[in-house]
Amino acid sequence: MKIAHFQSIGGASGDMLLGALLDAGLPLEQLQRSLKPLSLPEYSLSVQQVQRGHLTATFLDVRIPGERLGLSPQELLGCVTASILPDRVKERSLSVLNALFEAERRVHRTVDRSEVHLHELGSVDTLIDVVGTVAGLEHLGVQKVLSSPIVVGHRQPDRPRKYPVPAPATLELAAMANAPVEIRESVSHEMTTPTGAALLTVLAEFQAPSQITLQSIGYGAGRADLPGLPNVTSVWLGQGEEAEGESVVLLETNIDDAQGIVMGYAQERLFALGALDVWITPIQMKKNRPGVVLSVLVPTSLQDEAVETVLRETPTLGVRVRPVQRQIASRETVPFHSQYGVVAVKVKYLNERPVSVAPEYEDCRKLALELGVPLQDLYQQVLAEARSQLVEGH
């Protein structure tokens, strides 16, 4: 399986992680194409090679004309939700953003996220860092993300209302994920930012690869040039041994006293949290009452939050929890140029050979509406073209 291992040499931030992926082989043009579905305000990306200590690294600079907009959590989430990003990129990006906003809510001790002021996190930069990193990993075909411990500096605030180092939101994210933290007491710089911590705690497992056949190494540079310590994040990309399966948790509960709109909303909230799958099965319950089984498949790290969501959003009084193993096929989402236009197509691999393709529904829907073509005809034609070129023509 394709593995990405992030190593926090001198910390981790969103732009450092993204810079590392660019340095390791992610084309800048592909990153720009991946961000287009967000329909963001005007911005530009530039990369340059810089020196950080004894290492040469890629520095990604996001340039936004005029004053940066201060966006709320709802606006940032809405931008991703309303986009036509591929489903997996959208779901994982929303999971990262939700974790980031939940950490900020806990720091500010508020009940409603709308009361949280995001400061520098409420900008286009945050969306670029989060969605760009998730889309970059997807484009590179990464199936598993690993990480070294979160590295933080140490500094007490030198005046009232100034945050200490590490940032409280960074610590909250580490605590939420039970992530290992390494403290560098000699460094007073903010080494790991909240965005960097959110990406690592949601996407990665905190362990070193037991074995990896390296294919490329990338270094992403931070803005600071720390004395005696390169302010960079590295990423190792390579092939690892096939895992026996991914440890996930299956949550289930029987419900016979909820309206359909309640169940639909609960499903939406669970997907936004980061659930891998959510489904509802009709059943017959006691006293001949019709009911449903709500089933939720989530990563082990999201078990507590998913259970809380089910208990809060449905009338159920309890949730069954079972650890299960999930086998995962290698996959890659690629832009495919069909006769109707560009469509994101998911390619499934077995033993490193493509075996099937699946066009993204939202891309096909958009083209069908624009061209006035029946969706089923367009979808079948794109499927046939993609299969001919990407599978049979491999």
Residues 6+ apart with CB under 8 A from 339: 381, 385
- CATH architecture of the domain 331-392 equals Roll (3.10)
CA 359 to each of CA 93, 277, 337, 356, 385: distance values in angstroms, whole numbers, following the listed order = 20, 19, 11, 10, 10
Give the tens place of pLDDT for each residue, 241-262: 644 456 689 999 999 999 999 9
Q: For 58, how many CA atoms within 13 A lie in the half-sphere containing its CB? A: 24
Reference 134, options 42, 4, 223; nearest CA is: 4
The pLDDT tens digits for 271-291 are: 988 899 999 999 999 888 899
What's the CATH code, domain 246-326? 3.30.70.1380
Among the ranges given (8-12, 189-193, 239-243, 357-361), the one the predictor scored with the smallest mean pLDDT:
239-243
Sorted by sequence, the CB contacts under 8 Å of residue 229 that are 6+ apart come out as 9, 10, 53, 184, 187
Exposed, middle or buried: residue 159 (CB in 10 Å: 0-12, 13-18, 19+)? Answer: exposed
Share of the chain above pLDDT 90, in %: 58
Question: What tokens does 255 get?
Answer: 């419900």
> For 21-79, how does the pLDDT look when each residue is reduced to its tens digit (9 = 90+)?
999 999 999 999 999 998 887 788 999 999 998 899 999 998 887 655 677 788 888 89
In one-letter notation, the amino acid at residue 247 is: S
Confidence check: pLDDT of 137 > 90:
yes
Strand order in the sheet with 232-240: 44-52, 55-63, 212-221, 232-240, 2-7, 144-147
Average pLDDT over the chain reads 88
Domain range list for the chain: 2-240, 246-326, 331-392
**Does residue 141 carry a pLDDT above 60?**
yes
Entry field: residues in the chain: 394
Residue 315: is the preceding peptide bond cis (ω within 30°)? no
The count of other CB atoms within 10 Å of the CB of residue 288 is 6
String of b and e for 219-228 (b: at least 16 CB within 10 Å)? bbbbeeebee
Residues 69/75/76/77 CA torsion (nearest 10 deg) = 180
Q: Flag whether the pTM goes above 0.85.
A: no
Percent of the chain at pLDDT > 70 equals: 92
- Can you list the pairs that 362-366 forms with residues at least 24 positions away whose Cβ atoms lie under 8 Å? 362/84, 362/87, 363/84, 366/84
pLDDT at 268 over 50: yes
Owner of token pair 């079948």: 380
Picking from 259, 250, 252, the residue whose alpha carbon sits closest to that of residue 315 is 259
CB 105 within 8 A of CB 117: no
More confident position, 154 or 280:
280
Reported confidence tier of residue 269, pLDDT bands at 50, 70, 90: very high
What are phi and psi for residue 3, nearest 5 degrees? -120, 140
Output DSSP code: residue 317: S
At residue 201, the pLDDT reads 94
Q: What is the pLDDT of residue 115?
A: 58
Question: Is 299 or 220 the better-scoring residue by pLDDT?
Answer: 220
